[in-house]
Amino acid sequence: MLVEMKRTPMYDEHLKLGGRMVDFAGWELPVQYTSITKEHLAVRKSAGLFDVSHMGEFFVRGPAALEFLRWVTLNDPAKLRVGRAQYSMLPNDKGGVVDDIYVYRTEEGVYLVVVNAANVAKDWDHLNRLAADFDVELEDASDSWALMALQGPEAEATLQPFTDVDLSTVRKNATLPLTIAGVPARIARTGYTGEDGFEIFAAPGDAPELWRKLVEAGAVPAGLGARDTLRLEAGFPLYGHELTDDTNPRCTPLAWVIKDKPYYGREAIEDASCAERMVGMMLERGIPREGYPVFAGGAPAGKVTSGTQSPMLKKGIALGWVREDVSAEGSDVEVEVRGKLMPARVVKTPFVSPVK
């Protein structure tokens, strides 16, 4: 069956910039414009601009909006004041993760939930099923918003000339509505690269012009390839790789997200033992890739779920799930790279931290 791929409002911009378009979760998006490495380094050293309009946006409104979100997410949205955002996850009732998400309290009684593109339909069904018991109204606003991410140490300086809001007062995980280059938008000081930066929500009709202005101001267009290597250096999981319906978040470095409160599926998450844990691994030689087996002392010990050569460290880095007894920082393991066992070490993530 031929399925028509979806295009974001920035589609024509990507073509004009020479983006190499690929299918990502049913969306036609650029994997790179010039070079993954160059785009990656631009984000680490100056500022890069990503089109992330494919991500899903749900609004949760109503008298029980907070109560509902406290039940369906692992982090605690009760801690969010208006204008603040938090990383979170949707648990299932089998000790796994439906999706990892960002929750923004945009107004009194209104929450915005940003979800992974590949999971929009699944999350929507899941949330609607659980919402039946709550006095809430859910809206899928995914097609009403274009989303871009301006990331890197020069993100603030690049964006500042286009708005009257003093961006130096916008703290990490803060979000606010504002005017950028004369059009209404919302920004959040969040991202998926490990760098400082902003995510910018704008109307689909306004977004391409805003994109062009930011590129003219020096932001380097960056594709999905760099987005993946950047998040990997930062140690961030990608749903479908590190996190799945079957992975227990309690056994990951993201366990901090689980707050002590009643939530959907809590027993399943708490009852399971962590026979395997999600870890970071680094290799002196060899480039780990998704699916490569991990060994410890020659015995099977797990597998790589994401891997690449770090453009910053020039070494092989991986996220993966390994046996609990070799999951401690400093444990020696081996990654099988094309039939050869290459020494690897379990290391703390992030692999790369912002310089400043």
Q: Rule CB under 8 A: which residues touch other proteins?
A: 31-32, 35-38, 40, 225, 229, 287, 289, 308-309, 311, 314, 338
Contact 223, 31 (CB under 8 A): yes
Which lies closer to other proteins via its Cβ, residue 313 or residue 328?
Answer: 313
Q: Which residues contact 186 (CB under 8 A, 6 or more apart)?
A: 106, 175, 176, 177, 178, 200, 201, 202
Which lies closer to other proteins via its Cβ, residue 34 or residue 163?
Answer: 34
Contact 287, 316 (CB under 8 A): yes
Which lies closer to other proteins via its Cβ, residue 338 or residue 356?
Answer: 338
Whole-angstrom CA distances from 229 to 138, 191, 194, 226 are 33, 14, 11, 5
DSSP per residue over 286-326, as a string? S---TT-EEEETTEEEEEEEEEEE-TTT-SEEEEEEEEGGG
Residue 61 CB, shortest distance to other proteins, in Å, is 41
Which lies closer to other proteins via its Cβ, residue 248 or residue 308?
Answer: 308
Residue 349 CB, shortest distance to other proteins, in Å, is 19
Residue 221 CB, shortest distance to other proteins, in Å, is 15
CA 37 to chain centre: 19
Which lies closer to other proteins via its Cβ, residue 112 or residue 281?
Answer: 281
Which lies closer to other proteins via its Cβ, residue 96 or residue 225?
Answer: 225
Residue 286 CB, shortest distance to other proteins, in Å, is 8
Unique residue bearing structure tokens 């938090």 = 86
Residue 311 CB, shortest distance to other proteins, in Å, is 7
Residue 344 CB, shortest distance to other proteins, in Å, is 16
Give, to the nearest 10 degrees, the angle between helix 65-72 and helix 120-131: 120
Strand order in the sheet with 146-151: 175-180, 183-188, 197-202, 146-151, 48-51, 220-221
